[in-house]
Amino acid sequence: MDLIDIDKTNVGYLPEEEQIDEKNIQFKVEEIKKAVKQLPNGYRTVLSLYLFEGYDHEEIAEILRISHATVRTQYMRAKQKLLTLLKQGGLS
């Protein structure tokens, strides 16, 4: 059996944590907020209730008095529109 000098290994080595770029994160948050504001009202409402408020599709359907299928459709379209807006720089 070969012995290895523990001082010559990476055992116990913890890499330095990556620095968090708070300015970049804040910039991205602002871009997302701008893009969300550009969504049509129905899209924005469903997306906000689902993503930010934590309601599920059934609850949103009940709150808005629309069908569950409509909620799902609005949510999917809102997501696609939001991604498109973000790819365009968040501004139209």
Q: Which domains does the chain have, with CATH numbers?
A: 40-92 (1.10.10.10)
Per-residue pLDDT, 16: 66
pLDDT tens digits, the chain, 92 residues: what are they? 677 776 777 666 666 666 777 887 888 888 999 999 999 999 999 999 999 999 999 999 999 999 999 999 999 999 999 999 999 874 54
Q: How far apart are CA 61 and CA 78, in angstroms?
A: 15
Report if pTM > 0.75: no
The pLDDT score that the predictor gives to residue 15 is 65
pLDDT at 39: 96
Three-state DSSP at 19 gives coil
DSSP string, 51-81: IIS---HHHHHHHHT--HHHHHHHHHHHHHH
Contact 55, 63 (CB under 8 A): yes
